Amino acid sequence: MKTISSLAILFLFLISPLIAQDTDEKKNFEPRAPQRFESTHAGTFGGQKITYKAIVSENFLKNSGGEVTAALWSTAYVKEGANNSNRPVLFVFNGGPGSASIWLHVGFFGPKVVKVDSEGKIDDGTAPYQFVQNNQALLDLTDLVFVDPIGTGFSQVLGKGENKDYWGLTEDANSIAQFMKLWVTENGRWQAPKFIAGESYGTTRAAKVAEVLEGGGNPMALNGIVLISQALDYAGSSSWADNLTSFFTYLPSQAATAWYHGKAGKGETLADFAQEARDFAYGEYLEALFQGEKQSQAQKEAIATKLAYFTGLDKAYILRSKNQILMGRFKKELLREEGKAIGTLDGRFLAKETDLVAESPVLGDASSYMTESAYTGVFNNYLYTDLKVKMDRAYLGSAEGMGGSWNWKPVPDGAYWEPSYVSTARSLSEVMHRNTALKVMVANGYYDLITPFFDSEYTFARHDFPQDRIQMNYYEAGHMMYNRQEDFDALAKDIRAFLENILK
């Protein structure tokens, strides 16, 4: 204990000047030029040899009084030698809330990408990791701007700004919309086609940002939105007790995952078995969920038999669970006899557990800890080496303390509001009715156990979405379907076709 205390004191002594410097910058901000790091690169994208600039830069966000309250950082890839006034631009962000854009940046959209085990069977291990040129990047079609919301990456509050000004559903959307308009103005792109791509909470954000962009007396219309692992209406992606919607929306994903691990649907194709699960969910299961204790024992037994067929779980266990299987329990129960738990972001991943009798996985999400070291390792090296960034503080892939401080209310402080499931689905639907040219592509992973593919279908079947402008695509992987090479290729092809169809 004595040695640990001494080391801790020494560590604090060494880093305290940096902490003080960072605190001074935040609280005592003096006007200065935004920081900017530029480098020039070349590569072949979409079959075209392209020279482009990589620009890692900060933009100052201001309050209504014109005072700087935050610095929002982004990484832009801009093609050289193009007529940039009408060249398309794609803004990309991840989710969380509290995640920087690192995952989509070096996982899929960037000019260089990390490669982890495609089948999710091998841990990413230790450095060096595989980092390769991404010839399928979209730089032949559009410039790319990766956005790090306040509190992530290098983005932070400054001067009189406070985290609460940015850490919230509406606050966050306002800041991203403000940044997008700043970027478009500074780069002369008001006449250019504009797109957004978001993942997970980034899709929640994308819908709200699209709504905010239309307001403020300075409206900006979007041409297209790509939603990767959508989360627009949280009733369908919150596996909580008493949330009947979630038992309905998660069942087909449980069936698909059980099929993948050989516990259900033997002899059937994935597509056929998933459709069978959809039909059961919309039919007998939905009725049973709402009947509850009004069912006879024979009816409960019949539903449990069907659930055992689809999920691969023991019928007696299902009956004890009242025919309602929480996702956390499913991840532990499916392979309990083998001492393994499956991943959340991707149900293909599995890991040997240290506690064999726990109700849910004790080590966390295998699909996260089996890949995240590779992502952070290659990105940090890329940032400071290839992109020539020089900073005296760390790039935060995840925001510190944001989760517990996030304001989920969709109304201003002081306005009446009763807690409910978060939803920006209606916001996006209304934007699509006002902007009749806007098209949306939704990318769904069959083995995504946090934002289930069936929830996408259920969400977009409601809220009065214009069905002819919604495109659904499916992939045989999870939340980050691009971790599987076959689906990386398929997703790249699908997004390219989606953009080309809009731009033609």
Contact between 119 and 224 under an 8 Å Cβ cutoff? The reply is no
Cis upstream peptide for 111 (omega within 30°): no
pLDDT at 3 over 90: no
Contact between 329 and 359 under an 8 Å Cβ cutoff? The reply is yes
- pLDDT one-digit tens code per residue, 101-143: 999 999 999 999 999 999 999 999 999 999 999 999 999 999 9
- pLDDT one-digit tens code per residue, 174-207: 999 999 999 999 999 999 999 999 999 999 999 9
Q: Where do the domains of the chain lie?
A: 22-234+372-503, 241-364
- pLDDT one-digit tens code per residue, 216-227: 889 999 999 999
- pLDDT one-digit tens code per residue, 429-460: 999 999 999 999 999 999 999 999 999 999 99
For every residue of 11-43, which 3-state class applies, written as one string? HHHHHHHHHHHHHHHHHCCCCCCCCEEEEEEEE
Structure tokens at 296: 């006879």
> How many percent of the chain have pLDDT more than 90?
88
pLDDT at 403 over 90: no
pLDDT at 19 over 60: no
Q: What is the pLDDT of residue 24?
A: 56
**Mean pLDDT throughout 467-471?**
98
Quote the CA–CA distance of 53 and 42 in Å, as a whole number. Answer: 9
Q: What is the pLDDT of residue 472?
A: 98
Q: In this structure, is the dihedral angle defined by the CA atoms of residues 263, 265, 270 and 273, taken in order, positive or negative?
A: negative
**How buried is 392 (Cβ within 10 angstroms: 0-12 exposed, 13-18 middle, 19+ buried)?**
exposed
Q: What is the pLDDT of residue 22?
A: 53
Q: What is the pLDDT of residue 400?
A: 82
- pLDDT one-digit tens code per residue, 57-99: 999 999 988 999 999 999 999 999 877 789 999 999 999 999 9
**How buried is 79 (Cβ within 10 angstroms: 0-12 exposed, 13-18 middle, 19+ buried)?**
buried
Three-state SS for 58? strand
Q: What is the pLDDT of residue 217?
A: 87
> How many percent of the chain have pLDDT more than 70?
95
Q: What is the pLDDT of residue 193?
A: 98
Contact between 113 and 132 under an 8 Å Cβ cutoff? The reply is yes
Nearest to residue 175, comparing CAs of 193, 157, 195? 157
Quote the CA–CA distance of 335 and 191 in Å, as a whole number. Answer: 54
Confidence band for 25, pLDDT divided at 50, 70 and 90: low
**What mean pLDDT value characterizes the chain?**
93
pTM across the whole model: 0.93
pLDDT at 298 over 50: yes
pLDDT at 15 over 90: no
**Mean pLDDT throughout 34-39?**
96
What are the φ/ψ torsions at residue 146 (nearest 5 degrees)?
A: -95, 125
Confidence band for 23, pLDDT divided at 50, 70 and 90: low
CA distances from 206 to 32, 51, 100, 497 (A): 31, 29, 15, 20
Structure tokens at 12: 């604090």
- Which superfamily is assigned to 22-234+372-503 in CATH? Alpha/Beta hydrolase fold, catalytic domain (3.40.50.1820)
* Residue at 266: amino acid letter: K
Quote the CA–CA distance of 409 and 5 in Å, as a whole number. Answer: 42
Contact between 409 and 168 under an 8 Å Cβ cutoff? The reply is yes
* Residue at 230: amino acid letter: Q
Tokens 């819908």 label which residue?
207
Contact between 165 and 157 under an 8 Å Cβ cutoff? The reply is yes
